[in-house]
Amino acid sequence: MSSEIKLYLESRDSGLAEAIARAPSEIRSPRVLVQHSRESGPPASPPDIALLHDDPQEGDILQRISAWRQRYPQTSIFVISANNQPEQIVQVMKTGASEYFFDPPDLQKIRDVLVRHRKETVADTENVEGTIYSFIGSKGGLGTTLIAVNTAVAVALRNGGKTGFLDLSLQTGDSSVFLDILPETTLSDICKNMHRLDRSFLRSAMTRHGTGLDVLPAPAHPEEGLNILAEQVKKILTLEKSLYENFIVDCSSVSINELTLEAFRNSEIVFIVTDFSIPAIRNTTRLMKFLQKYDIPFEKMEIVANRFTKDHTGSLEEIENSLKKRLFWLFPEDENAEPSINRGIPLVKYDGKSPMGKSLFDFARKLEDPMAQKNYRGVKGFLGKAI
């Protein structure tokens, strides 16, 4: 792959052109070649990046972005604009831009983005044989999203990123709240642009969390989820699997449809979240039988219990006999869980040394290496022996 980035600046402002040309001068690898044009419209050959100056004299910025997208769909589009209205920024990003700089631009930010863009472009050429894990609650209120989100964050922190997350809880979409992010692109936006869907487009549509986790949130409005098709989810998951080493899907509790079934079919493991209440255990049994009717193998399903206490130890064997399956993991009760949710800070960041924070990191380690501490599942009993 070439060590150069070809950047095409579309602007009538010669002063801006000179500043942009100087911006990457300190970057030695990759080298940035800047081409400037006063004319609006794509050039004869595609650059790696098109940097469009939002100037009324040059035409409507949304139309200009669309023209670029139609001509060169692989080119990344950056925008410089004096318009700081959130609605305009969101519209620009939805139209196809991947970066938005305020005018006059911060040249250091441009340098940083160029370096990051190069790293992501290199990563995009490498096919990853990733693993998908899905989470579904046997009933509501079990903390399924808490476990799914924090597992994804813990894995991302452990492997330095390379982890993605899809919120398939289309009616609630709580992951954005748990992570305190304001997404510019959601699952429904991707599905409306399936004709443009490829690895580059999908990666640019993911929302990057401060922990390095890439997130594809649920639709902003529940009714938007009604138009999402299983075949669209299948294509998205196939691409996500080629982009990320680990990919986590949070599914609505007890809500099984063609979309969630598609997620389960593409998953290495389907984690069913339960607790030790009779309704949750009963629903877990029913859920496993239901999934088997739709060709989800019993061996692919694993059960994790939330809010485990030492008082539950005596009933553990009885429950496992009822489920005909050994519980994969036991997450402890933790008073820090609710404060972390209310503050929008993942528990593993809010207090990674708390009982559940530590358990989540151990759980993430177990996913990476299932044979590590084979019998350990998050709780130790008398004399430190794994329960």
Q: What is the pLDDT of residues 203-255, one digit of tens each?
A: 888 988 888 899 999 998 989 999 999 999 999 999 999 999 999 999 988 78
Tell me the CB-side half-sphere exposure of residue 366, using CA atoms within 13 A: 20
Whether 62 shows a pLDDT value over 90: the answer reads yes
> At CA 223, angle to CA 239 and CA 141, rounded to 5?
80
Q: What span, in angstroms and rounded, lies between the C-alpha atoms of 65 and 274?
A: 47
- Tens of pLDDT, residues 176-200: 999 998 888 899 999 988 888 888 8
Contact 161, 116 (CB under 8 A): no
Give me the pLDDT at residue 122, please: 54
Q: What's the mean pLDDT in 91-97?
A: 87
At 29, the pLDDT band (50, 70, 90 cuts) reads very low
| DSSP one-letter code for 124 | H
At 3, the pLDDT band (50, 70, 90 cuts) reads low
Beta pairing class for 214-216 and 207-208: antiparallel
Q: What's the mean pLDDT in 32-44?
A: 78
Cis peptide before 104 (omega within 30 of 0): yes
Nearest to 162 by CA among 250, 68, 240: 240
Strand order in the sheet with 301-308: 207-208, 214-216, 163-168, 246-251, 131-137, 269-274, 301-308, 329-332
Please state which of the ranges 97-111, 248-262, 281-295, 319-333 shows the lowest mean pLDDT.
97-111
Whether 2 shows a pLDDT value over 60: the answer reads no
In the structure encoding, which two tokens stand for residue 203, read together? 């990666």
Nearest to 323 by CA among 375, 283, 294: 283
- 281-292 burial, b at 16+ Cβ within 10 Å, e below that, comes to bebbbebbeebe
% of the chain residues with pLDDT over 90: 49
Tell me the pLDDT of the chain averaged across its residues: 87
- Tens of pLDDT, residues 260-282: 999 999 999 999 999 999 999 99
Residues contacting 368, CB < 8 A, separation 6+: 155, 158, 159
Whether 16 shows a pLDDT value over 80: the answer reads no
Q: What span, in angstroms and rounded, lies between the C-alpha atoms of 7 and 44?
A: 14
pTM listed for this prediction: 0.70
Q: What's the mean pLDDT in 53-64?
A: 89
At 23, the pLDDT band (50, 70, 90 cuts) reads low
Whether 290 shows a pLDDT value over 90: the answer reads yes
Q: Measured between alpha carbons, how far apart are the two ends of the chain, in Å?
A: 51
More confident position, 352 or 190: 190
In the structure encoding, which two tokens stand for residue 92, read together? 């620009």
At 387, the pLDDT band (50, 70, 90 cuts) reads confident
Spacing of C-alpha 330 from chain mean position: 25
At 171, the pLDDT band (50, 70, 90 cuts) reads confident
Question: Which strand (E) or helix (H) includes residue 80?
Answer: strand 76-81
Spacing of C-alpha 22 from chain mean position: 34
Q: What span, in angstroms and rounded, lies between the C-alpha atoms of 179 and 373?
A: 30
Q: What span, in angstroms and rounded, lies between the C-alpha atoms of 134 and 145?
A: 11
Give me the pLDDT at residue 347, please: 92
Q: What's the mean pLDDT in 111-140?
A: 77
Angle (deg, nearest 10), helices 258-265 and 230-243: 30
Contact 248, 155 (CB under 8 A): yes
Q: What span, in angstroms and rounded, lies between the C-alpha atoms of 369 and 107?
A: 43
Give me the pLDDT at residue 27, please: 44
Nearest to 29 by CA among 120, 119, 160, 110: 119
Q: What span, in angstroms and rounded, lies between the C-alpha atoms of 351 and 235?
A: 36
Give me the pLDDT at residue 26, please: 46
Whether 83 shows a pLDDT value over 80: the answer reads yes
